[in-house]
Amino acid sequence: MTEKKLTKGNIALAEGAIQAGCRFYFGYPITPQNDIPEYLARNLPKHGGTFIPAESEIASINMVMGASASGKRAMTSSSGPGISLMQEGISYLAGSEMPAVIVNIMRCGPGLGGIAPTQGDYNQAVHGGGHGDYRNIVLAPGSVQEMFDLTIKAFELADRYRNPAMIIADAMIGQFQEPCRLTPERPVEFPEKSWALTGRRGRDPRLLKSLYLGDYEQEEHNLFLKQKYDEIQENEVMVEMQNLDDAELIIIAFGTPARVAKTAISLAREEGLRVGLIRPITLFPFPVNEIYEHSARAKNILVVEMNTGQMVRDVRIAAHKDAAIHFYGRPGGGFPFPDDVLGEIKKALGGGAR
Amino acid sequence: MYYDVIMAGFGGQGIQMISQIVALAAIRKGLNVTYLPSYGVEKRGGRTNVTLVIADEEIGSMVSNHPKCVIAMDTIAVDKYKAQVAPKGLLIANASLVPLAMLDRSDIVPLPLRCNDEALALGSAKLSNMIALGAFLQRSEILGFGDVEAVIDEVTPERLKKTIPANLEAIRRGIEIAANGSVR
């Protein structure tokens, strides 16, 4: 057994990137993710990597694009406004089918907002954010261990599907500490990159682009991407499910609210209330089948988010038509404590559906 | 077993130090731990607090607003966290700085300790956090002196290694005071 070390979420993520073979990091500082560049500035060069403090987030994402085009594993991290600035680049990555990992330790906006934990950027990450008809692969860690493991996963998925992968976490997941195994669970996958721009001597030229002007070329490209997204949806859903067998109410939450929900669920069960949990670990692909299947039986869903209601819309689309869907949201600056969630559980079980 | 504690005071009182010791000792005992340091806009000499959850089961929430124990090292910490202590919970307060009249909740167990005075008697005011840690060990009963002794070297930065014997002595003193009741 590998020894577990008390580790901060952001540090686990940064170390995960190194162990995933990321050798290029570009970023511009912003709280609450500064531990990531701080750690990588110190440690990436020790692994032969390159750390560049870029002049802006726009520069960061375009540097990521350059490193990715050459077939290297590259990452940037930021928060709120910085991620907004990167959206054009993320869209280009998706359109040109270039893998990259983008980390958003969320800030509560809109605007400059604050540094309290929040999940206000769900829609931005999951439903575009940049222009065009694309999807990010989106991973949502719920523990320090997952900050490490899912960062490795993000690089693997990004390469496997030649698509940007985003990791989104609230500041609580970024800042708190837990015992963490800082070695990969299994050997990290490195797929061949027969598309990478590595110098054309001795082979046919390669081209990475997102401009398609010929008749139906763009449509063809979009339909091709759609097929890829369908494949991701089919194969890559990750979800944690607890206490569902006898549940009459299912809480659906990711990140910190899912942690809080676990405590609320054990309090509820002590009082004889049958409550279970579905925690999406991938936000795209979203666990639609799991939600449909379990909501058909439990008939009651409570979505808990640290925003005014973003993932709940995807839950409404996924859930069985007969399930009543309740929502409890605490936007940035507020916080859902376990007894708050317990109160919402009781309200939801007391009737009053939407 | 599920135990949550909030430790709070001002920067420099060694709150992070004792919480690191407790966290690591608990991990070494095979327990699950979450460690949430004060988080926000920080400045030197500002407020500091830590929420620790220790359990032999999976830990859900890393945040607690009804902890079983609060260690309050000054009046501001008592003000902020006294109302949050769970009923029948423990409020360890640094009575060198906190007036006893502030510990007026009748449904919790107040444990006032003159941490600064006790520390000074042992030779350094900097040992006050260890007095509180000793009292916490004695009352919470989740960790013993030996558990803490085993990890203190690992937690202590190189430049402070020479303070370890004094720290251990202060922890023993804290245990002793808490076992005998508290200051009147």
The answer to whether residue B29 neighbours chain A at the CB level (below 8 Å) is no
Q: Quick check: B53 and B63 in contact, CB under 8 A?
A: no
pLDDT at A352: 46
- Amino acid identity of residue A321, one-letter, is K
Q: In chain B, whose CA is at the least distance from the CA of A256?
A: B61
What is the distance in angstroms between the Cα of B142 and the nearest Cα belonging to chain A?
18
Domain with CATH 3.40.50.970 in chain A: 5-235
Among all chains, which residue has been given the structure tokens 């060069």?
A45
- Kindly report the length of chain B: 184
Query: What's the pLDDT tens digit per position in A120-160?
Result: 999 999 998 999 999 999 999 999 999 999 999 999 999 99
- Amino acid identity of residue A123, one-letter, is N
B contact test, residue of A11, A146, A178 with most B CBs within 10 A: A178
* Measured distance between the N- and C-terminal CA atoms of chain A, rounded to whole angstroms: 48
Nearest-CB residue to A179 (from B33, B41, B66):
B33
A contact test, residue of B1, B22, B62, B84 with most A CBs within 10 A: B62
Interface touch B63/A175, C-beta < 8 Å: no
Interface touch B63/A260, C-beta < 8 Å: yes
Most distant CA atoms of chain A, gap in Å = 71
The answer to whether residue A337 neighbours chain B at the CB level (below 8 Å) is yes
Q: Quick check: A46 and A20 in contact, CB under 8 A?
A: no
- The answer regarding whether domain B2-179 maps to CATH 3.40.30.10 reads no
Q: Within 10 A of A181 (CB to CB), how many other CB atoms are there?
A: 17
> Buried (b) or exposed (e) across B169-180, using 16+ Cβ within 10 A?
ebbbbbbebbee
Nearest-CB residue to B60 (from A177, A179, A260):
A260
The answer to whether residue B137 neighbours chain A at the CB level (below 8 Å) is no
pLDDT at B45: 67
The answer to whether residue B1 neighbours chain A at the CB level (below 8 Å) is no
Q: Within 10 A of B94 (CB to CB), how many other CB atoms are there?
A: 27
Among all chains, which residue has been given the structure tokens 């837990």?
A178
pLDDT at B40: 61
Most distant CA atoms of chain B, gap in Å = 43
- Tell whether the model's pLDDT for residue B110 goes beyond 50: yes
Q: Quick check: B26 and A180 in contact, CB under 8 A?
A: no
**Dihedral of alpha carbons A186, A289, A309, A57, sign:** positive
Q: Following DSSP, what letter does each residue of A246-269 receive, concatenated? A: T-SEEEE--SHHHHHHHHHHHHHH
Nearest-CB residue to A177 (from B35, B58, B60):
B35
CATH topology of domain A5-235: Rossmann fold (3.40.50)
pLDDT at B39: 63
- Tell whether the model's pLDDT for residue B184 goes beyond 50: no
Q: In chain B, whose CA is at the least distance from the CA of A263?
A: B60
The answer to whether residue A262 neighbours chain B at the CB level (below 8 Å) is yes
pLDDT at B104: 92
- Tell whether the model's pLDDT for residue A1 goes beyond 60: no
Query: What's the pLDDT tens digit per position in A102-129?
Result: 999 999 989 999 999 999 999 999 998 9
Query: What's the pLDDT tens digit per position in B7-23?
Result: 999 988 999 999 999 99
What does the alpha-carbon distance between residue B141 and residue B139 come to, in Å, rounded to a whole number?
A: 6
What does the alpha-carbon distance between residue A249 and residue A251 come to, in Å, rounded to a whole number?
A: 7
* Measured distance between the N- and C-terminal CA atoms of chain B, rounded to whole angstroms: 32
- Kindly report the length of chain A: 354
- Tell whether the model's pLDDT for residue A283 goes beyond 70: yes
Nearest-CB residue to A176 (from B34, B58, B66):
B34
Interface confidence (ipTM) of the complex:
0.92
Contacts of A177 in chain B (CB under 8 A): 23, 34-37
Among all chains, which residue has been given the structure tokens 């006294």?
B82
Position B47 confidence tier, pLDDT thresholds 50, 70, 90: confident
pLDDT at B183: 55
Contacts of A176 in chain B (CB under 8 A): 34-37, 62
Span A48-56, mean pLDDT? 98
What does the alpha-carbon distance between residue A24 and residue B30 come to, in Å, rounded to a whole number?
A: 37
Interface touch B35/A6, C-beta < 8 Å: yes
**Nearest C-alpha neighbor of B87 from the set A339, A341, A342, A261:** A339
Contacts of B33 in chain A (CB under 8 A): 6, 178-179
What does the alpha-carbon distance between residue A283 and residue A76 come to, in Å, rounded to a whole number?
A: 19
CATH topology of domain A239-349: Rossmann fold (3.40.50)
Starting at the earlier edge strand, list the strands of the sheet with B2-10: A5-8, A177-180, B32-37, B47-55, B2-10, B69-72, B90-94, B109-113
- Tell whether the model's pLDDT for residue B159 goes beyond 50: yes
> How big is the A-B interface in CB pairs under 8 Å?
67
Q: Print the SS3 string covering A75-126.
A: EEEECHHHHHHCHHHHHHHHHCCCCEEEEEECCECCCCCECCCCCCCHHHHH
Q: Within 10 A of B116 (CB to CB), how many other CB atoms are there?
A: 19
The answer to whether residue B30 neighbours chain A at the CB level (below 8 Å) is no
Starting at the earlier edge strand, list the strands of the sheet with A50-53: A50-53, A24-27, A74-78, A100-105, A164-169, A137-139, A282-284
Contacts of A264 in chain B (CB under 8 A): 60-61
Query: What's the pLDDT tens digit per position in B87-109?
Result: 999 999 999 999 999 999 999 99
Contacts of A256 in chain B (CB under 8 A): 62-63
Domain with CATH 3.40.50.920 in chain A: 239-349
pLDDT at B38: 78
Q: Following DSSP, what letter does each residue of A282-322 receive, concatenated? A: EEES--HHHHHHHHHHH-EEEEEESSSSSHHHHHHHHS-TT
Query: What's the pLDDT tens digit per position in A195-224?
Result: 999 999 999 999 999 999 999 999 999 999
- Tell whether the model's pLDDT for residue A354 goes beyond 70: no
Average pLDDT, chain B: 94
